[in-house]
Amino acid sequence: MKQTLPLFIVFGCGFFMIIAFFIPLGGFQDVSQTFENWYTGVIAFFVFVGILNLVRVNTERIQKRTRDWQYSIILLIFLGIMMVAGFFIGGREGRLFLYLFDNFYIPLGATMFSLLAFFVASAAFRAFRARTPEATLLLIAAVIVMIGRVPVGYWIWHGFPSLVEWVMNVPNTAAKRGILFGADLGLISMALRVLLGIERSYMGGGKE
Amino acid sequence: MKFIDRLEHLDRRIIFLLVGIAVIIPMLIPLGLPVDISKPVKDVYDKVESLSEGSIVVVSADYDPGSEAELYPATEAFLEHCFRRNLRVFMLGLWPAGSNLGNLALEEIAPQYNKVYGLDYINVGYRPGGPVMLVSLGRNVADIVRTDYTGTPIDSFPLGRAVKSARDIDLVMTLSAGDPGVLHWIIYFNARYGTPIACATTAIMAPQQYPYISSGQLIGLLGGLKGAAEYETLVERKARAVGGMDSQSIVHVLLVIFIVIGNIILFSQRRKK
């Protein structure tokens, strides 16, 4: 029962939604719309589940004194501060929440992302090497795009941006299309496996 | 050969230092390099120009502070163009922090054009649910959006009452840093309701959008900070993105130099063997 009932729910809901997509009759549309509204409600609830999980995982890290457990304390303190500022001190209109968002969250997020520039530079020096003909081709394309996508490329040679557009529109698009078709066919087959109950790993490892 | 061996084992902190210098110096001494305009950016600009006054544009801020450096300048430039053309802006965010960042841009740009909240623009905040939420939003906005980001019912605003379904939306501009984002807007909004979609993405995501531009599912693209700089140039608002182009140019040149040096090392080692 523990496995059969979820399989029936998935089969029924999944195929109903597919049928409703192709049959634009009022009744079908009303029910599918109700399902969609339920889904958005459930997803919103997942935020709450996510917070609970975050608290549980980090509390365990602190209790067990695992590596870098001190960062978990900082995380939990700021999680609490942001929640109090958001819920009880005027929400997004509250000055404390906006102050924390503008002066902590934005600079910290931007800092983490900007570190990539340094690591990319180091990786370009050590790893981006023409070891094979394929790697050489990739390297040439990368250099063209890197130079042609910034104003200095246009300054060096006015034809650089057009060359970049060609790389993007022809070889890049052709390769991406191939990948997309392959991935989407795999997605359809996976969805069918889930709906038909062949693929059951999403239910976890519970027993009957 | 000793020099080559020394280069091979170059301390990566030297590389970091060189990148830091390449970023900072052009900020202090701007080079003023010319910004060329690419077709995907011009197509977005032309689409906005073609909309009649009062048209409704959904601006979806689907990013967080990690991508703020690339996407916030695009947000500002696009909003400036919309308000200059007297278009109405309906903002939301598929990412929790997105609508906050979008709101910062709205508060910066809207007063410059004397735009009134609720009449000319509205922010309905973070909307969870990704693809399914977009399907419901297009069918009936009231199912998904009942209040704005402050908790005020949206039907108390003229613009809130004007947007009932996808049929009332003339253009969607998604500022996208990943999932959920532009791909969901294309699949679940454009394909289903036919609403034109434009996007601004991080530079790393830009190549993935070209198949959709070529199929006509995306009308145009602002790729990375360069795309934002091009849009700033088109709307004659040279701000953060154009200012960042000199640094980005020098860093890209530096990266190419690193790649060339790395390959010189490779070939010299091969010859040695």
Q: What is the pLDDT of residues B251-270, one digit of tens each?
A: 999 999 999 999 999 988 88
8-state DSSP, A127: H
Q: Contact B250/A108, CB-based, under 8 Å?
A: no
- The answer as to whether A44 is a domain residue is no
Q: State the pLDDT confidence band at A97, using cuts at 50, 70 and 90.
A: confident
Structural domain for A179, as ranges? 128-203
**Has residue A74 been placed in a domain?**
no
Chain B CB contacts of A120 under 8 Å are: 255
The answer to whether A106 touches B97, Cβ cutoff 8 Å, is: no
Q: Is the CB of residue B184 less than 8 Å from the CB of residue B60? A: no
Name which of A40, A108, A161 is nearest B38 (Cβ-Cβ): A161
In this prediction, residues A182-203 reach a mean pLDDT of: 92
Q: Please tell me the distance from the alpha carbon of residue B174 to that of residue B200, in angstroms, as a whole number.
A: 6
| CATH number assigned to the domain with residue range B39-238, chosen from the 4 options 3.40.50, 1.10.1200, 4.10.410, 1.25.40 | 3.40.50
Tell whether omega for the bond before B180 is within 30 degrees of 0, i.e. cis.
yes
Compute the average pLDDT of residues A6-20.
90
> pLDDT-derived band of residue A186, with 50, 70 and 90 as boundaries?
very high
A120/B255 Cβ within 8 A: yes
**pLDDT tens readout for residues B205-241:** 999 999 999 999 999 999 999 999 999 999 999 889 9
Helix then strand count (H, E) for chain B reads: 13, 6
- Which residues of chain B lie closer than 8 angstroms to A14, CB-CB? none
A-to-B residue pairs, Cβ atoms closer than 8 angstroms: 170
For residue A29, what pLDDT band results from cuts at 50, 70 and 90? confident
Token pair for residue B87? Answer: 């278009």
Residue entry with tokens 């038909």: A196
E strand or H helix at A108, and its extent?
helix A106-127
Spell out the residues 6+ positions from residue A90 whose beta carbon is closer than 8 angstroms to its own.
Answer: A96, A97
Q: How far apart are the first and last CA of chain B?
A: 12
| Band of pLDDT at residue A128, cut at 50, 70 and 90 | confident
What ipTM was predicted for this assembly?
0.85
Chain A (45-74) residues lying within 8 Å, Cβ to Cβ, of chain B: 46-47
Quick check: is A132 in a domain?
A: yes
CB contact under 8 A, B207 and A130: no
Question: Nearest CB to A122: which of B15, B208, B245?
Answer: B15
Containing H/E element for B140?
none
Tell which wins on pLDDT, A79 or B271. Answer: A79
- Cα B142 to Cα B155: distance, rounded to the nearest angstrom: 9
CB A121 within 8 A of CB B254: yes
- The residue among A44, A43, A84, A91 whose CA lies nearest residue B149 is A91
Phi, psi of B89 (to 5 degrees): -110, 125
CB atoms within 10 A of CB A9: 10
Count up the domains in chain A and report the number.
1
In a domain, A75, yes or no: no
Structure tokens at A149: 């996508």
Tell me if B262 and A33 make a contact (CB, 8 A cut-off).
Answer: no
CA of A3: how far to CAs of A6, A195, A197, A204, B70, in Å?
6, 13, 10, 10, 46
A chain contacts of residue B144, beta-carbon cutoff 8 Å: 37, 40
Cα separation, B70 vs B64, whole angstroms: 11
Indicate the pLDDT class of residue A39, thresholds 50, 70 and 90: confident
Is residue A208 very low, low, confident or very high in pLDDT (cuts 50, 70, 90)? very low
Cβ atoms within 10 Å, residue A83:
12
Closest partner residue to A110 (CB to CB) among B66, B210, B248 is: B66
Task: Give bridge partners of residue A115 from the DSSP assignment.
Answer: none
The alpha carbon of residue B52 is apart from the nearest alpha carbon of chain A, in Å, by 30
CA B246 vs CA A57, B24, B250, B251, B266: distances in Å = 44, 10, 6, 9, 30
Chain centroid, CA B67 distance in Å: 9
Q: Does A136 touch chain B (CB under 8 A)?
A: no
